[in-house]
């Protein structure tokens, strides 16, 4: 039998005032995995993590950790480490104190905490910064302090709320590595939420797509990308949205990389964008706008008329409600 999920949300409902923010949300986090929950801003990502951590009361549903019902358990006793987007570091303290503070407050022995802080600091390249006040650190360094502090807790699972979103692209690459360090360190699963689908595909073992308080699809990055459950996922997840062509009974979808110059549909070139070795070409057709990628050297000019084509195996069919048909 497979190991039970480390963390499980069973039909969790959360409302803010009269507004329902999470609708019977179900999610399970497996031992050791990096699960990325991706959804647009306002879809309920922070609320979901806060509900799991016990910081947000649930109207109904259950939260389980290693199979134990913790729905009524206060946050401090839930054995989850949450890293917030704003990091919540203590500005008047140095790096070592920030990493160790929580454990000391929970009653751990000073000498033991000091030893563990040293050990964890080495993993996050903070050894030379231990005596520095956190306000004197760069954004990337502060990020690492927040992760190191979470590790010190030896939680059952890590909950990371958009930990990379405020970093510039170079630091973000580095921070992705740090998240890997985190999950490889003690085998506790990591739940990371982000509004950035690129980040989700790049990092996740499994991706869960959240839309308006509901998980609409869970799968490997490849599954979610190649078989999106509905037109929302098809448009939201990927470097470019899937093209959707209207037809009587719904939509036919085709990814920009699967459209070529061919002879299925007339198109007019509206806009050409530079994207490294490729051009992203925006066209209009009688069945709606279509975007395709072409080698930069083969890009057409704005105003040109071309014919577009694809092979049938690359088409996705969706019904009138946007749900995937077949495959």
Binding site for Mg ion (CB under 5 A): 45-46
Coil, strand or helix: which one is 103? helix
Rounded-to-integer distance, Cα 303 and Cα 38, Å: 37
57 makes contact with ligand ADP (CB under 6 A): no
Query: From the CB of 49, what's the least distance to ligand ADP, in Å?
Result: 8
With respect to ligand ADP, which residue has the nearer C-beta, 192 or 281?
192
197 makes contact with ligand ADP (CB under 6 A): no
41 makes contact with ligand ADP (CB under 6 A): yes
Q: What DSSP assignment string belongs to 104-152? A: HHTT--HHHHHHHHHHHHHHTT-GGGTTSBGGGS-HHHHHHHHHHHHHH
With respect to ligand ADP, which residue has the nearer C-beta, 46 or 217?
46
What, of Mg ion, ligand ADP, none, does residue 44 touch, CB below 5 to 8 Å by kind? ligand ADP
Q: If we measure between CA atoms, which residue out of 217, 196, 200, 199 comes closest to residue 208?
A: 217
With respect to Mg ion, which residue has the nearer C-beta, 5 or 163?
163
Structure tokens at 31: 């031992």
Q: Contacting ligand ADP (CB under 6 A), which of 7, 9, 21, 65?
A: 21
Burial of 281 (0-12, 13-18, 19+ CB in 10 A): buried
Query: From the CB of 51, what's the least distance to ligand ADP, in Å?
Result: 9
47 makes contact with ligand ADP (CB under 6 A): yes
Residue 69's DSSP bridge partners are: 64
16 makes contact with ligand ADP (CB under 6 A): yes
With contacts defined by CB under 6 A, name the span among 37-45, 181-189, 287-295, 300-308 that binds ligand ADP: 37-45
With respect to ligand ADP, which residue has the nearer C-beta, 51 or 269?
51
Query: From the CB of 46, what's the least distance to ligand ADP, in Å?
Result: 3
First to last CA, the chain: 28
Rounded-to-integer distance, Cα 270 and Cα 282, Å: 6
Q: If we measure between CA atoms, which residue out of 147, 158, 146, 161 comes closest to residue 37?
A: 161
39 makes contact with ligand ADP (CB under 6 A): yes
With respect to Mg ion, which residue has the nearer C-beta, 47 or 231?
47
Are the CB atoms for 153 and 81 separated by under 8 Å?
yes
Query: From the CB of 321, what's the least distance to ligand ADP, in Å?
Result: 23
With respect to ligand ADP, which residue has the nearer C-beta, 21 or 95?
21
Query: From the CB of 135, what's the least distance to ligand ADP, in Å?
Result: 26
With respect to ligand ADP, which residue has the nearer C-beta, 44 or 250?
44
Query: From the CB of 219, what's the least distance to ligand ADP, in Å?
Result: 20
What, of ligand ADP, Mg ion, none, does residue 47 touch, CB below 5 to 8 Å by kind? ligand ADP
Rounded-to-integer distance, Cα 194 and Cα 162, Å: 5
Rounded-to-integer distance, Cα 26 and Cα 73, Å: 19
Beta strands in 151-199 (DSSP E): 157-161, 190-194
DSSP 2: P
Q: Which residues of this protein are in contact with ligand ADP, per CB under 6 A?
A: 16-17, 21, 39, 41-47
């Amino acid at each position: 039998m497979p190991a039970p999920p480390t963390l499980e949300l069973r039909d969790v409902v959360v409302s803010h005032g009269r507004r329902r923010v999470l609708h019977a949300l179900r999610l399970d986090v497996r031992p050791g995995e990096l699960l990325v929950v991706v959804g647009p801003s306002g879809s309920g990502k922070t609320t979901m993590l806060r509900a799991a951590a016990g910081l947000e009361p649930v109207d109904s549903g259950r939260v389980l950790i290693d199979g134990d019902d913790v729905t009524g358990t206060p946050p401090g006793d839930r054995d989850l480490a949450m890293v917030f987007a704003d990091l919540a570091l203590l500005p008047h303290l140095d790096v070592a104190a920030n990493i160790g503070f929580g454990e000391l407050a929970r009653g751990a022995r000073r000498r033991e905490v000091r030893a563990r802080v040293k050990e964890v600091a080495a993993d996050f390249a903070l050894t030379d910064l231990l005596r520095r006040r956190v306000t004197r650190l760069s954004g990337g360094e502060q990020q690492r302090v927040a992760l190191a502090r979470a590790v010190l807790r030896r939680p059952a699972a890590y909950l990371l709320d958009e930990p990379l979103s405020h970093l510039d692209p170079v630091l973000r690459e580095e921070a992705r590595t740090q998240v890997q360090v985190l999950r490889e360190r003690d085998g506790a699963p990591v739940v990371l939420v982000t509004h950035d689908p690129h980040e989700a595909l790049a990092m996740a073992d499994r991706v869960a797509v959240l839309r308006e308080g509901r998980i609409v699809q869970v799968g490997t990055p490849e599954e979610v990308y190649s078989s999106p459950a509905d037109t929302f996922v098809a448009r939201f997840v990927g470097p470019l949205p899937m093209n959707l062509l209207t037809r009587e009974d719904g939509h036919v979808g085709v990814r920009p990389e699967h459209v070529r110059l061919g002879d299925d549909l007339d198109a007019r070139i509206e806009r050409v964008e530079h994207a490294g070795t490729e051009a992203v070409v925006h066209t209009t057709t009688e069945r709606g706008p279509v975007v395709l990628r072409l080698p930069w050297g083969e890009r057409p000019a704005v105003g040109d008329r071309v014919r577009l084509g694809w092979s049938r195996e690359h088409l996705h069919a969706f019904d009138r409600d946007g749900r995937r048909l077949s495959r």
